[in-house]
Amino acid sequence: MAEDPQATPANENTQDPEAQVEQMFEYGYRKSNYGPDELVTDSHGNPISVVDAMLKPQDAAKMQTSTPHLCYYSPRIPGNTGSAIRLCAVTGTILHLVEPLGFNLKDTKLRRAGLDYHDMAHVVLHPNFESLVESMPDSRIIAFTAHATKLYTEVEYRPNDILLFGPEPGNIPDPTDIMFGPHVAEQVRLPMRPSLRSLNLTNCASIAIYEAWRQLGFQGGE
């Protein structure tokens, strides 16, 4: 009996493309029907709570790091925070975010800046600035502000320092009670050409973190 040319070989996968995508989910891909606000997933693509993916303040304070901690006080632009999360993931830095935030942590701009579950494991959320100070009482707080006279390169950084940056954009005055309060050990600045307003927040933080990491011998890097 002649073979039917229309017959499908027995070993050929006859599943429709959508069914194949749903199976791929079991091997670490995101399910196709998840919405864009599901930013944080486990290794199988299942959504988990953003807060559950973060460090607790008491755990962050106990961690041994090769770079100082980074703190954004009341950040307002989600893309900047997303970039800071990725910065901290690649340098082994811990990022402290002090509320109030100017965005929802599920903002899609965070995702565009490279946010994922493993990066979120370097982030601590504080309800107020006192929470940060109380959780790390033995750390120096070094505030980065355009009003300082000392350059950021004139400080010898320690791994348990906290590099503090105020809210953006640059035309909003620094909160003096935070950036110049008694809890701050140093105020430093990045040099710029005169008459220019400011650098992007996470560009500033990147310069500061890499200078501190350089001083500390790029421990943990390759």
What does the pLDDT look like over 71-82, one tens digit per residue? Answer: 999 999 888 988
**How many beta carbons lie within 10 A of that of residue 49, not counting itself?**
9
Place of tokens 């493993």: 118
Note the pLDDT of residue 42.
58
Q: Tell me the pTM.
A: 0.76
109 vs 58, more confident: 58
111 vs 132, more confident: 132
Note the pLDDT of residue 143.
97
Residue 141's beta-bridge partner residues?
A: 162, 184
* Residue list, annotated binding site for S-adenosyl-L-methionine: 166, 190, 198
175 vs 133, more confident: 133
> Where exactly does CATH 3.40.1280.10 map onto the chain?
50-215
Among residues of the chain, what percentage have pLDDT more than 70? 67
Place of tokens 């010898």: 156
171 vs 8, more confident: 171
Look up the CATH superfamily of 50-215.
SPOUT methyltransferase, trefoil knot domain (3.40.1280.10)
* Residue list, annotated binding site: 166, 190, 198
Q: Considering the chain, what is the average pLDDT of its residues?
A: 80
